Amino acid sequence: MGTRRARVSVIYFISKLNEWDALLMEKIKNSAKAEIKKAAHSLMDGYLVAFPTETVYGLGADAANEKAVSRIYDVKGRPANHPLIVHISSINKLEKWAVDVPEYAIKLAKEFWPGPLTLILNRNKIAKDFITGGQDKVGLRVPNQITALLLLQEFEKLGGLGVAAPSANKFGAVSPTCAEAVIDELGGVMDSKDLILDGGKCEIGIESTIVDCTQEHPRILRPGWVTKNMIEESSDKKVSPRLETEQIRVPGQLEKHYKPKARIQLGFPNEVNVGFIALSNFKTPDSVIRLASPKDSHSYASELYAAFRLGDAQGLSKIFVIAPEGDGIAVAIRDRLVRCVTY
């Protein structure tokens, strides 16, 4: 309630205007930039700013301000000892937050930043316990989204070091992939001085790949758009398997996570009046509500969370989902689906 909503989605349309509109274009650009500057000041003043990234929307706070960061936990209803990803504007800021960065991690950052990859590294002094959940490691990412990058640059111009941002949803719920979903999730609990930046729909639609780079070999803690093959190719290192006795806590990897209100069941629907999500080559049975029919795995990732929300908005009690097969981003989609299945 009362959350001011800064519309910066206009910057997406700039490229579509022709030369006749040059003046208008300049005006739009300036107003979008002004909104982003205002948001950077809000962060500096200790308020929260929800912003778009290419993966999902994040709920940002000044990563060096303990009080501001504690509000993230209040608003999300998240346990306070969970670590947060620090978002930075470029690889040049990496060593402010991390020490003893292995060469292979630098290779990964150079290859995939800005992009949907979070690196877990040994923390530098400014990464306090309230960011790392008391661990010696910090998660860092440079997002590949124009509004996010401009926000981070403006924030750093004001002396900011990084923006801590979990996905902008209630703890355990589905990550938002558009500004409307952020408002649905958190609008009611955000302060009137907090902001939500609207950058349109997130291109990728599921959360970043998280790679632990604190050992001899990289380890994938959460699969995403950046795949195991891509990591091995760019780092010249074999990815080591995740240990059962995992020491690093990754709440996104809790068994029950990313859950809509509806019960999720894997497979073809065997009931009527239920929701259905599957690739477009699967036909919709009679009296079943089709929530998404993406043409490939990438569209599947970008449509999945919105489809969950649509099912919830329609008050469906059950959604049947056929997971995409194969490698690539399909691995990450199956990872998320397994976590939200209700048995």
Could you say which of ligand TXA, Mg ion, none residue 332 binds, taking C-beta under 5 to 8 angstroms by partner kind?
none
Could you say which of ligand TXA, Mg ion, none residue 234 binds, taking C-beta under 5 to 8 angstroms by partner kind?
none
Could you tell me where the beta strands, DSSP code E, fall in 24-116? 49-51, 58-62, 85-87, 98-99
x/- letters, 209..228, toward ligand TXA (CB under 6 A)? -x------------------
- For residues 163 and 277, which CB has a smaller minimum distance to ligand TXA in the complex? 163
Nearest to 170 by CA among 192, 148, 189, 151: 189
- For residues 82 and 237, which CB has a smaller minimum distance to Mg ion in the complex? 82
> Phi and psi dihedrals of 216, rounded to 5?
-55, -40
Distance CA 44, CA 110 (A): 28
Kindly tell me which residue out of 6, 39, 85, 181 binds ligand TXA, with binding defined by CB under 6 A: 85
Nearest to 131 by CA among 93, 96, 91, 82: 82
Q: Cβ of residue 238: shortest distance to Mg ion, in angstroms?
A: 28
Please count the other Cβ atoms lying within 10 Å of the Cβ belonging to residue 192: 10
- For residues 248 and 288, which CB has a smaller minimum distance to Mg ion in the complex? 248
The secondary structure element, H or E, covering residue 180 is helix 179-186
Interface size with ligand TXA, residues (CB under 6 A):
28
Q: Which residues have a Cβ under 8 Å from the Cβ of 7 and sit 6 or more positions away?
A: 35, 198
- For residues 291 and 332, which CB has a smaller minimum distance to ligand TXA in the complex? 332
CA distances from 335 to 37, 260, 324 (A): 37, 15, 11
**53 lines the binding site for Mg ion (CB under 5 A):** no
Distance CA 130, CA 144 (A): 25
- For residues 6 and 220, which CB has a smaller minimum distance to ligand TXA in the complex? 220
From the list 25-33, 141-149, 164-172, 182-190, the region that binds Mg ion by CB under 5 A is: 164-172
Which DSSP category does 305 fall into? H
- For residues 169 and 265, which CB has a smaller minimum distance to ligand TXA in the complex? 169
Residues that bind ligand TXA (CB under 6 A): 53, 55-56, 58, 82-85, 118, 120, 132, 135, 137-139, 141, 143, 165-167, 207-208, 210, 248-252
- Residues making contact with Mg ion (CB under 5 A): 167
